[in-house]
Amino acid sequence: MKTAGSKPPLSPPRWLLAELTYACPLQCPYCSNPVDFARHKEELTTEGWKRVLSEAREMGAVQLGFSGGEPLTRPDLEELVAHARRLGYYSNLITSGYGLSAERIAALKAAGLDHIQVSIQAPEQDLSDWLAGTESFAHKKQVARWVKEQGYPMVLCVVIHRHNIEQMEGILEMAVELGADYLELANTQYYGWARLNRAQLMPTREQFERAEAVARRYKERLKGKMKIYYVIPDYYEDRPKACMNGWGTTFLTIAPDGAALPCHAARELPIDEFPNVRRMSIREIWEESEIFNRFRGFDWMPEPCRSCDEKTKDYGGCRCQAYLLTGDMTATDPVCAKSPHRHLIDQAIAEAEAPPEAPLVFRNPKASRRFFET
């Protein structure tokens, strides 16, 4: 047994998410970026990003996601991809596909990019374009075909919510038509813009169960042809997810301005300042910063987690979810049936049966400024 105050064992980061920019031509109302993203304007330079990649790789990071916003808006993307390849990363471009040409897909391949994850909002044009806040559906499908033609593993990502969950079959058929090697069916996680729009996004339990049954049927049928990652909507579970495989154990996100986060949603926590790669090395941040150490191990846990025999499986769940729902980031994740705050989740589930009428708030700089300008 560990004694109180002892240092938890430290594992090196394996997964680096490089959020190159908050700029994005799309306006998805479930975006995981913080709602006040427009506050952070100073992006890291090319040299700054190269140093981040080098330092994280030296510590052991090997899976790399180039994300955003829309990473294609960075003109130095090819240069960063080439740097990542030289370092031995397995790199992934997480993109809307907006504005992506066959030529740039080839240039990225030549630079050493390993795969491209294209997101499509829905299996039909009107809905997809409405959700994206831009006319993009036809081009996204073209991009998916180019990605496949050029020999990348084709990874298709669809975020699931009440506006497209009834089309689960159409989504799966679209993935088959596009020849996806991997399909990520990501039930919306309620952080960032999705938390803001939760009442308009959350499916009912019945919708969720029907969609899951469809996904399970295709998963069985497509075994060996397409790998389906089904991200469960944790509100409909009674145990929390092992968020980020535990705080500060595996994942490192670097935000566009150089802030280092234990997960890409962490910027919503009531923490005044995250360590920044402009002032600290990745090693210092990972090993020594107070914030990366704060929720490592088990000593920080309150009850019911502290004495729970499942704490080694789920690490108390998600700190962001605990904070967004209870106002206390050290609380047990309210998804857990043992949490004294579980009623907050049950209320949200009940509300999904008859959601209040309200427009979706689309993710854009103008909407974002309302969260910090007075």
Partner 1 sequence: MSLDPDAPLRFSPLHRLQWEEAQQRHVILYPEGLVELNATSAEILKRCDGEHTLRTIVEELERKYQTEGLTDDVREFLEIALENGWIETAA
Residues making contact with partner 1 (CB under 8 A): 12, 14, 58-60, 62-63, 88, 90, 92, 114-115, 117, 151, 153, 155, 181-182, 184, 224, 227, 229
Give Cα 264 to chain centroid, integer Å: 6
Nearer to partner 1, 58 or 238 (CB): 58
Return the residue matching tokens 């994206």.
Answer: 132
Nearer to partner 1, 92 or 204 (CB): 92
Q: Which two tokens stand for residue 34?
A: 């913080």
Return the residue matching tokens 């298709």.
Answer: 156
Nearer to partner 1, 12 or 25 (CB): 12
Q: Output DSSP code: residue 183.
A: E
**Closest separation in Å from C-beta 153 to partner 1:** 4
**Closest separation in Å from C-beta 287 to partner 1:** 14
**Closest separation in Å from C-beta 22 to partner 1:** 23
**Closest separation in Å from C-beta 14 to partner 1:** 7
Going across the sheet that includes 15-19, the strands are 227-231, 182-187, 154-160, 115-119, 90-95, 63-67, 15-19, 251-254, 260-261
Nearer to partner 1, 92 or 321 (CB): 92
Q: Which two tokens stand for residue 17?
A: 């998410």
Is residue 4 exposed (0-12), middle (13-18) or buried (19+ Cβ within 10 Å)?
Answer: exposed
Nearer to partner 1, 75 or 224 (CB): 224
* Cα atoms in the 13 Å half-sphere on the side-chain side of 30: 22
Is residue 223 exposed (0-12), middle (13-18) or buried (19+ Cβ within 10 Å)?
Answer: exposed
Nearer to partner 1, 229 or 372 (CB): 229
**Closest separation in Å from C-beta 171 to partner 1:** 18
**Closest separation in Å from C-beta 182 to partner 1:** 5
Is the separation of the CB atoms in 185 and 212 below 8 Å?
A: no
**Closest separation in Å from C-beta 265 to partner 1:** 18
Cα 20 to Cα 25: distance, rounded to the nearest angstrom: 14
**Closest by CA position to 262, among listed 233, 285, 281, 288:** 285
Nearer to partner 1, 90 or 371 (CB): 90
**Closest by CA position to 238, among listed 313, 348, 345, 326:** 345
* Cα atoms in the 13 Å half-sphere on the side-chain side of 80: 27
**Closest separation in Å from C-beta 155 to partner 1:** 5
Q: How far is CA 245 from CA 13, 113, 216, 220, 339, in A?
A: 11, 26, 24, 27, 20
Nearer to partner 1, 283 or 311 (CB): 283
